Structure 1
């Protein structure tokens, strides 16, 4: 396969997954902002969202202060923000168009229709009317694109590069979601007693986090007890059977990298395998003891390094 074709397929999948995960981040922040809390606490949540998305500088250059409405506009529909859902869906569609011949008709039509329909929704004022409904729509279209890919694409190199892009992006975004939400509730919470009112707020906070990654029912099935932050972290970091966990994502990346391995990719495969081993044999009590923020920051650095290695070994030179 031409590296140019692999590059377009990889980034098509990454941008679609990024659009979905941005919608998930915004949705959980929007839902938690509706909980009883001070205005400063609500602003801290939106500020943390911009920080973890590495968009604080770009936002401050365009807006005077932080408000929920401005942050959502910036991250959903702003064409000047390269990470907005608008730009992610446009980039996914343009990458798909560039390799139209490598895709099935259903995959192309799903990408194209998603872009066209999203523009129609923005013009109709869907973001202002009901942000949560728009975020659900973005998530649904991402699910649809993955389902169509699984159901119609030949599982050859084209398929594998799409899967690598999808799960590398998902691992990155799950780690960012965990980091910002544990910071919002303060990592010192682990293992401490809190009052009834605080417990109630915590329940709704962690419920919103779990729902944002479609894991609320999964948590109940696996742990069968009250929602505890260390168990939320364990589910979303170390459970191989949780589709959006860090370990599940890295497992998929390694499996698909092995399927497309070439003479230059030994070091990238080694790095990916070592990251998987660290997750596979990790323990949540050890992670918490050493610091969750430090652990997730290191994980994000390693995922970024892995993405660079994949680009170097398979894709167009940066």
Structure 2
């Protein structure tokens, strides 16, 4: 496969995953602003997780309308849903013959919806827009799983999506880790419960978490689930296991291994050695910071290895 085609597939998946993540974060922000209790600027944490905190530095309080303007409709903000969907479509169009008709239709269906929406209408229709974005991402992934040949193109697509997904989980925990520490004035209260579950909702982890831990929302167990659980598709450990597997398949296809293979293997080994609760004892913030840096190094190493 040409390096340009590999790069387009890699970034198609990353941008689509980023758009869906932004939609889920905004949904989380809406839910949390409805919970009564001591004020926290929930929209600021949404912007921080999305990597767009700098856009609101001069604003004392961020409103939902401003979030819609910057993280939904803005065509120039790399963290916005509109920007990410447009970039995903442009990358896919550049490799139109490498993807299936079903995959292209998933990206092409109603792609001008956000371009044609004015801020007022977008605010009123925000839940519908969020559902539409999540559906587009799900349909694209479903189409790739059921209609794409398992060749190097599929591997690059999966690697891009997995890298972006692990990064979102890490950033969410890094920004919201204070949520996972009990609020002394509200422990056991309704707001405390919603703060615990908001992180799970943002990663579509609520039902899966319940199957593993039932109603126990202990901070170390939530951390264990979102970082170390080997079976949950949005956990860091699951993403890295799959990243290592697909990079291994590329190594077999091209007959060589590179620095990126070593980096993926290092994280897989590190996560396999961590025990439940250990991340809280050693420092969750320190771990997520190091892991995000590792993600960046791995992304750069993949680009060098396959000449993006």
**TM-score, normalised by the number of residues in structure 2:** 0.92
Correspondence for 1:56 among 53, 56, 63: 53
| Alignment-derived partner of residue 103 in structure 2 | 107
What do residues 30-67 of structure 1 show as CA deviations (whole Å, max 9, x unaligned)?
2111111344x1x2x22233334332333447x68522
- Cα distance in 1 for residues equivalent to 2:119 and 2:64: 20
Counterpart CA distance in 1 for 2:125 and 2:272 is 40
Distance 1:298 1:114, change over 3 A: farther
1:19 and 1:84 in contact (8 A); partners too: yes
Give unpaired runs (5+ residues) of structure 2: none
Match of 2:303 in 1: 311
Equivalent in the alignment of 1:207? 197
Deviations 1:90-134 (A, max 9, x none): 0000001101111111111211115234445x3595531142332
**Contact map agreement 1:6 1:315 (CA 8 A) in 2:** no
1:109-163 deviations in whole A, cap 9, x for unaligned?
211115234445x359553114233222211110110000111111101101000
Q: Deviations over 1:4-23 (max 9, x none)?
A: 11000100111001100111
1:76 to 66, 72, 77: 72
Measure how far apart 1:224 and its partner are: 1.9
**2-side partners of 1:287 and 1:227: how far apart?**
16
What residue in structure 1 maps to residue 287 of structure 2? 295
2:210 aligned partner:
220
Say if 1:300 and 1:196 are closer, same or farther in 2 by CA, change over 3 A. Answer: closer
The Cα RMSD (Å) is: 2.1
- Counterpart of 2:144 in structure 1 is 149
CA distance in 2, matches of 1:150, 1:117: 26
C-alpha distance in 2 between matches for 1:167 and 1:153: 17
Q: In structure 2, what is the Cα distance between the partners aligned to 1:69 and 1:282? A: 41
**Whole-angstrom distance in 2 between the partners of 1:78 and 1:313:** 33
> Do the aligned residues in 1 keep the contact of 2:24 with 2:203 (CA within 8 Å)?
yes
- Shift in alpha-carbon separation, 1:59–1:263, aligned structure 2, 3 A: farther
Instruction: Note the alpha carbon deviations across 1:255-289, whole angstroms, 9 max, x for none.
Output: 11111124664221011001011112212321101
Deviation at 1:312, TM superposition (A): 0.7
Partner of 1:15: 15
Q: Which position in structure 1 is the counterpart of 2:231?
A: 241
Q: 1:5 to 1:239 in 2, by over 3 A?
A: same
Pick from 263, 271, 284 the counterpart of residue 271 of structure 1. 263
Task: Check the 8 A contact 2:21/2:168 in 1, yes or no.
Answer: yes
Residue 170 (structure 2) pairs with residue 180 (structure 1)? no
Q: Using a 3 Å threshold, how does the CA distance of structure 1 residues 126 and 177 change in structure 2: closer, same or farther?
A: farther
Q: Quote the Cα distance in structure 2 between the aligned partners of 1:2 and 1:76.
A: 33
| 2:44 matches 1:47 | yes
> TM-score, normalising length from structure 1?
0.89
Higher alpha-carbon deviation: 51-60 or 207-216? 51-60
Q: Post-superposition shift, 1:198? A: 5.0
Query: Is residue 162 of structure 2 the alignment partner of residue 167 of structure 1?
Result: yes
Corresponding residue for residue 94 of structure 2 = 98
